[in-house]
Amino acid sequence: MHLMSRWDPEVSRSVEDYLKAIYTLQESGGAVRTSTLAERMGVAAPSATSMVARLAAGGFLRHTPYRGVELTEKGSRIALEIIRHHRLWEAFLHHALDVPIDQLNEEAERLEHVLSDELEAHMVRVLGDPTHDPHGDPIPSADGTVDSAVYPNVTDLPDGASATVRRVPSEDPALLRYLKTLGLLPGASIVLRRREPFHGPLTLTADGVERVIGRELAGQILVEPGSPPELPRAHPAKQRRRRG
């Protein structure tokens, strides 16, 4: 359900892919150059330039030649819609088909271009208006707002810190599979131990099991610091917990 129901056939799959790429590049850095865009899209530089020209003509972005590119409101809206579709599909496939987390991205990459407003409404109904996908990435709302919470990664934690895994934004299937075997997916509670000096590997406890992981991997795990609401070990009734 979108204010401007955008079922223009004017917006091809290709255009959607470019806008999404530009949006994510814009999020994670300054000016978006055509070379960066070309690399991300796996095309030659002139192909990116000519698509940029088309997108500018369509009012999706502003282009300062030789400088870079910036999405307009219209362009951002479509990019966010595609990202919403992507993450809704991931959440739905995980929920309904138990598709393992390492396969979700590849499937959603194709499905994101094919989600009608009607089907989206059915998903939202069944999933209960989810706010995050299985990687912990925020799902933009239908009106185009995104939760912009920024989490530190495990390497930012001090020795002895407790934290809860919130996001594993990697798209590398092997990495995600490994994190799954380690029980380090969103929601997991961990305690960090810094045993090795000189930026060595980190030790962390999850599910009561100790794991030693490299810093590169640790950098892919975004956490919310703080002791999780401790479950009472032995007896009294479960206290209710509430995140604000």
Partner DNA sequence: TTGGTAATTTAGTTGAGACTAAACATAGCG
Partner DNA sequence: CGCTATGTTTAGTCTCAACTAAATTACCAA
- Interaction between residue 99 and its own copies (CB under 8 A): yes
Which helix (H) or strand (E) segment holds residue 27: the answer is helix 13-27
Closest to DNA by CB, 47 vs 153, is 47
Contacted entry of its own copies, DNA, none for residue 131, CB cut-off 5 to 8 Å set by kind: none
Which residues neighbour 169 within 8 Å (Cβ) at sequence distance 6 or greater?
A: 135, 136, 137, 220, 222
Closest to its own copies by CB, 107 vs 224, is 107
Residues 160-179, mask of contacts with its own copies (x by CB under 8 A): --------------------
Contacted entry of its own copies, DNA, none for residue 1, CB cut-off 5 to 8 Å set by kind: none
Closest to DNA by CB, 54 vs 195, is 54
Closest of 52, 43, 45 to residue 19, by C-alpha: 52
String of DSSP letters for 57-105: HTTSEEEETTTEEEE-HHHHHHHHHHHHHHHHHHHHHHHHH---HHHHH
- Interaction between residue 106 and its own copies (CB under 8 A): yes
Contacted entry of DNA, its own copies, none for residue 34, CB cut-off 5 to 8 Å set by kind: DNA
For residue 220, the minimal CB distance to DNA (Å) is: 27
**Candidate list 31, 44, 45, 114; residue touching its own copies; CB under 8 A:** 114
**Candidate list 44, 126, 149, 212; residue touching its own copies; CB under 8 A:** 126
Q: 70: which strand partners?
A: 62
- Interaction between residue 123 and its own copies (CB under 8 A): yes
Q: Residue 48 in contact with residue 38, Cβ under 8 Å?
A: yes
Q: Which span (48-56, 65-73, 115-123, 202-210) binds its own copies, by CB under 8 A?
A: 115-123
Closest to its own copies by CB, 97 vs 212, is 97
From residue 171, give the alpha-carbon distance in Å to each of 44, 87, 108, 137, 160. Answer: 23, 13, 11, 12, 29
Read off the tokens for 39: 């690399």
Contacted entry of its own copies, DNA, none for residue 93, CB cut-off 5 to 8 Å set by kind: its own copies
Q: Residue 87 in contact with residue 139, Cβ under 8 Å?
A: yes
Q: Which span (50-58, 104-112, 143-151, 204-212) binds its own copies, by CB under 8 A?
A: 104-112
SS3 163: strand
Phi, psi of 225 (to 5 degrees): -65, 160
Cα–Cα dist 203/69, whole Å = 42
Task: Report the interface residues with its own copies, using CB under 8 A.
Answer: 92-93, 96-99, 103, 106-107, 110-111, 114, 116, 118-119, 122-123, 125-126
